[in-house]
Amino acid sequence: MKAADLLGGQVHDLLAAPNPPLAAILDQLPAAVVIAEAPSGKIVFSNRQVERLLGVRPVAAGVAEHREWVSWTADGRRREPADLAMPRALRGETV
């Protein structure tokens, strides 16, 4: 799902609002959540689970920085950055 489609394009308003209810809810989820602007790839939100998994909250000003992200498959093979969910979603794929 594209961030612009989420909640009728009001994601930025909800995340930036004082005491943002959406950010508070997303921060409590047991799954890692990252929201980026399309098509730039600038990260506008990541929750605590992302920080727990990576050790830091990811910061990316654009798609080019997503290439620096490293992950592995369940069987230990390195996953290509272009195959990660965020770059795929920014290319218009449904992930």
- Please spell the DSSP secondary structure of 22-90, one letter per residue: HHHHHHH-SS--EEE-TTT--EEEE-HHHHHHHSS----SSHHHHTT--EE-TTSPEEPGGGSHHHHHH
The residue ranking higher by pLDDT, 83 or 17, is 83
Share of residues in the chain with pLDDT > 90 (%):
11
Task: Answer yes or no: is pLDDT of 33 > 50.
Answer: yes
* pLDDT value of residue 29: 92
Task: Answer yes or no: is pLDDT of 18 > 70.
Answer: no
pTM: 0.66
Share of residues in the chain with pLDDT > 70 (%):
76
